[in-house]
Amino acid sequence: MKTFIENITRRELIQGAISAGALVLGAKLIPQNAEAAPTAWNPSVYLGLEADGTVVVIAHRSEMGTGIRSVLPMVVADELGADWKRVRVEQALGDAKYGSQNTDGSCSIRDFVDAMHVAGASARLMLQRAAAAKWNVKAEDTKADNGYIVHTASGKKLAFGELVADASKLPVPAKEDLKFKPASEYKYIGKDVPMIDAVPVTTGTGVFGIDAKMPGMLIAMVERPPVMGGTVQSFDDTEAKKVPGVAQTVQLDTFKGAPVFQQLGGVAILANSTWAAMQGRKKLKIEWNNSPNAAFDSESYKTELRNKAKATQKVVRNVGNVDAEFAKGGKIVEAEYYVPLLSHAPMEPPAAVAEYKDGKVVTYCATQNPQAVQDAVAGALGIDKKQVECHVTLLGGGFGRKSKPDYVVEAALLSRKTNKPVKVVWTREDDIRFDYYHSVAAMYMKASLGADGKPTAWLQRSVFPTIGSLFANGAEYGQEFEMGMGWTDLPFDLANHRAENGPAKNHVRIGWMRAVANIYHAYAIHSFADELAVAAGKDRVDYLMSLLGPSRKVDFTGQGMKVWNNGQSLDKYPIDTGRLKNVLELAATKSGWANKKPGNRSALGVAVHRSFVSNVAAVVQVDVDDKGKVTIPRVDIAADCGQIIHPDRVKAQFEGAAVFGTSIAMLGEITAKDGRVVQRNFNDYPVARMPEAPKEVHVHIVPSKEPHAGVGEPGVPPIAPAICNAIFAATGKRVRDLPVKRHNLA
């Protein structure tokens, strides 16, 4: 299939053909750099060099605003000694040879920075050896500098391109032979290098999933079962087919077994334009067979979860004997917390175009995980995943939603049924009604306080439908990784501590979202810590410091659990309370905590949380007017994320996390009635806009030589508890159920 770009100017857009009252744009557009160009020499799967000196770096991760398509290539270029102006970044196809391509879990840098250093250092050494052979000198007497190999004694130099032919004949050196650059020689790492996608994104020439097109394709919109697991009983498409531009209708089967990334089923309208597909779908008449999930009601489910959280459940961590300590009496503090279902709601809803032909599928899509696309499409069509070619476009936001490729499966199935390329477009309503929702959770907390106000016993229970239910029917308990997100890995200095987890059935698709289970666990833990500080009559920052205890690496030996630690070794990434206390102190200092006492319905709130092996503290200022309206004048975030490659991108991620966390705390709530999601669009599922977002976000990055840690997600968890703690300090009203918008704060 031939692929090409046709750029459309604003003038050409306005002059476009008008058909059936809608603007129809007939450009054939696919993503630029959608497939790595052949190079003269590929010393690594991530790196190629051309004879003209161009350095080609393969971006195997997905770009959704984080800058990862620039940041990892920066590492390769710096280690290689390349001229950044001569670097071209090519987007990789889905392929296992690159390792994991799942751009999730705040792990792109952590998992691949070493591989990028190795790729750059290996090619550099081979170029040095090739140049040394030409000059009859030792390779160690040469260096790479700005696209040249230079003989340090004589100053002679050869451009990379001049050495490609000879270097390509040399064996790739063993890792132990490589010499990595010291940080003092970095030209790009640690600097704010301009993002390669900045111009196309800001000028409108960047190609996102919604922009991808194939010649002769149909546009599809799917009317899906309103209750998860429902099926089509019957449908009448007579009126739908009368809509100009509608070509046909196709029924899709409902998924079988656990949902995973399968299609939801329903009836698809296929047309020659998005508008025609939308209008045709409105005229479909469908009778549904509902599943048992039709009984799902979010209010009664909330009561069910809360009742379970108040009863004894499965122990997932145990220190000392909380029951014996509670039996002694003393000051007991109890609290219940609740976080509702949440939707990802990225600015760009899911979209994918696919063509099935001769047993092979070619797809262009906004995906965080092209390998999951290969697996899911292959499974749905019964073909080998090697026959699925996945091209990755830019993503207009993801937050975890676009690592779940059900929408790509729909496009592939419809293409096979129609023998044409098919582009599936989800509307905002589709996206919110049929998401992989972030789990609802109910949590119960109990503590006894000693004479010094510090807990002598601490009990915590959480109950939530698990992400495990996405992959296995009947899964009801939290998975190890969910428990290890702020629950079993609590770093507080507690002599008696027990964490429990109760079962919960899923009634909608449950999936990971930015920060995952840390969202509800951090909300409960750090709201409760604030309540204990108030009960003890202590300054809340001082109280958190005392809970963290002496600076130490937390030892979990003998506590009846395995520490998940984001899948990382505790030796490399220890849970270090010293680093947590450091970010807490930094955030407090930068916010002026000591000098800003509550008054005139204005106050500060604080939380500190470790997630994705990063340590983050947030201090949030809120103002609450007499009518109960909350504004957020300022947020201070202190972050210790280990070594930093691109400071500006790190800052941007934490600024975004502050807004994302504000949406969760103040506004986000998905509800259901009769198994159907109630919310439809941003009018009833709002996200923080300018009036609601923090007016100022100040990010304070801790300089560090520790290993690279997560950045994209760890800024989210402390925001909601810090906001709610500030609201209490300002008004005396404690918010234990999110979102804040449900509460009268007047």
Are residue 463 and residue 591 in the same domain, yes or no?
A: yes
Domain of 570, in residue numbers: 298-342+436-742
Give the separation between CA 539 and CA 604, rounded to whole angstroms: 12
Are residue 93 and residue 163 in the same domain, yes or no?
A: yes
Contact 197, 206 (CB under 8 A): yes
pLDDT number for residue 560? 82
pLDDT number for residue 431? 98
Is pLDDT above 70 for 5? no
Distance between the two ends of the chain, CA-based, in angstroms? 63
Are residue 276 and residue 334 in the same domain, yes or no?
A: no
Give the separation between CA 419 and CA 216, rounded to whole angstroms: 11
pLDDT number for residue 38? 54
Contact 214, 423 (CB under 8 A): yes
Are residue 303 and residue 259 in the same domain, yes or no?
A: no
Contact 724, 735 (CB under 8 A): yes
Residue 181: pLDDT band by 50, 70, 90 thresholds?
Answer: very high
Give the separation between CA 62 and CA 89, rounded to whole angstroms: 12
Residue 29: pLDDT band by 50, 70, 90 thresholds?
Answer: very low
pLDDT number for residue 379? 98
Residue 628 backbone zone (phi > 0: left; psi -120 to 50: alpha; other: beta):
left
Q: Which of 3-7, 249-253, 312-316, 405-409 has the lowest mean pLDDT?
A: 3-7
Is pLDDT above 90 for 731? yes
Contact 180, 121 (CB under 8 A): yes
Q: Is residue 65, in this structure, part of any structural domain at all?
A: yes
Are residue 222 and residue 189 in the same domain, yes or no?
A: no
Of 142, 173, 203, which residue constitutes the final position of a domain?
203
Are residue 105 and residue 239 in the same domain, yes or no?
A: no
Mean pLDDT on 278-291? 98
pLDDT number for residue 141? 97
Strand pairing report for 87-91 and 55-59 = parallel
pLDDT number for residue 614? 98
Residue 21: pLDDT band by 50, 70, 90 thresholds?
Answer: very low
Are residue 192 and residue 328 in the same domain, yes or no?
A: no
- Name the 3-class secondary structure at 159: strand
Q: Which of 27-31, 126-130, 528-532 has the lowest mean pLDDT?
A: 27-31
Residue 544: pLDDT band by 50, 70, 90 thresholds?
Answer: very high
Are residue 138 and residue 214 in the same domain, yes or no?
A: no
Residue 18: pLDDT band by 50, 70, 90 thresholds?
Answer: very low
How many Cα atoms occupy the beta-carbon half-sphere of 37 within 13 Å?
13
Residues 570-603 pLDDT 10s = 999 999 999 999 999 999 999 999 999 888 999 9
Residue 27: pLDDT band by 50, 70, 90 thresholds?
Answer: very low
Percentage with pLDDT > 70 across the chain:
95
What is the number of domains present in the chain?
A: 3
Q: Is residue 624, in this structure, part of any structural domain at all?
A: yes
| Cβ burial, residue 342 (10 Å; 0-12/13-18/19+) | buried
Q: Is residue 504, in this structure, part of any structural domain at all?
A: yes
Q: Which of 9-18, 78-87, 530-539, 677-686 has the lowest mean pLDDT?
A: 9-18
Residue 249: partners with Cβ closer than 8 Å, 6 or more residues away: 235, 237, 240, 241, 267, 268, 269, 270, 280, 284
Mean pLDDT on 64-77? 97
Are residue 242 and residue 139 in the same domain, yes or no?
A: no
Residue 182 DSSP code: P
| Cβ burial, residue 202 (10 Å; 0-12/13-18/19+) | exposed
Give the separation between CA 463 and CA 26, rounded to whole angstroms: 51
Q: Is residue 474, in this structure, part of any structural domain at all?
A: yes
pLDDT number for residue 597? 86
| Cβ burial, residue 618 (10 Å; 0-12/13-18/19+) | buried
Give the separation between CA 290 and CA 231, rounded to whole angstroms: 7
CA-based R_g, the chain, Å = 27
Residues 196-211 pLDDT 10s = 999 999 999 999 999 9
For residue 252, the cross-strand partners are 266
Residue 595 DSSP code: G
Is pLDDT above 60 for 31? no
CATH number for the domain harbouring residue 232: 3.30.365.10
Q: Is residue 626, in this structure, part of any structural domain at all?
A: yes
Of 369, 404, 425, which residue constitutes the final position of a domain?
425
What's the mean per-residue pLDDT of the chain?
A: 94
Q: Is residue 26, in this structure, part of any structural domain at all?
A: no
- DSSP, residue by residue, 707-722: PP---SSTTSTTHHHH
Are residue 150 and residue 248 in the same domain, yes or no?
A: no
Give the number of other CB atoms < 10 A from CB of residue 204: 12
Contact 204, 13 (CB under 8 A): no
Kindly report the three-state secondary structure assignment for every residue of 200-264: HHHHCCCCEHHHCCCCCCEEEEEECCCCCCCEEEEEECCCHHHCCCEEEEEEECCCCCCCCCCCC
Are residue 499 and residue 643 in the same domain, yes or no?
A: yes
Residues 460-499 pLDDT 10s = 999 999 999 999 999 999 999 999 999 999 999 999 999 9
pLDDT number for residue 559? 87
Is pLDDT above 60 for 270? yes
Is pLDDT above 90 for 500? yes
Residue 272 DSSP code: S
Kindly report the three-state secondary structure assignment for every residue of 608-643: EEEECCEEEEEEEEEEECCCCCEEEEEEEEEEECCC
Mean pLDDT on 319-333? 96
Of 188, 203, 218, which residue constitutes the final position of a domain?
203
- Calculate helix-pair angle for 68-80, 108-135, nearest 10 degrees: 30
Residue 215: partners with Cβ closer than 8 Å, 6 or more residues away: 1, 28, 421
| Cβ burial, residue 286 (10 Å; 0-12/13-18/19+) | middle
Are residue 459 and residue 601 in the same domain, yes or no?
A: yes
Contact 212, 5 (CB under 8 A): no
Percentage with pLDDT > 90 across the chain:
93
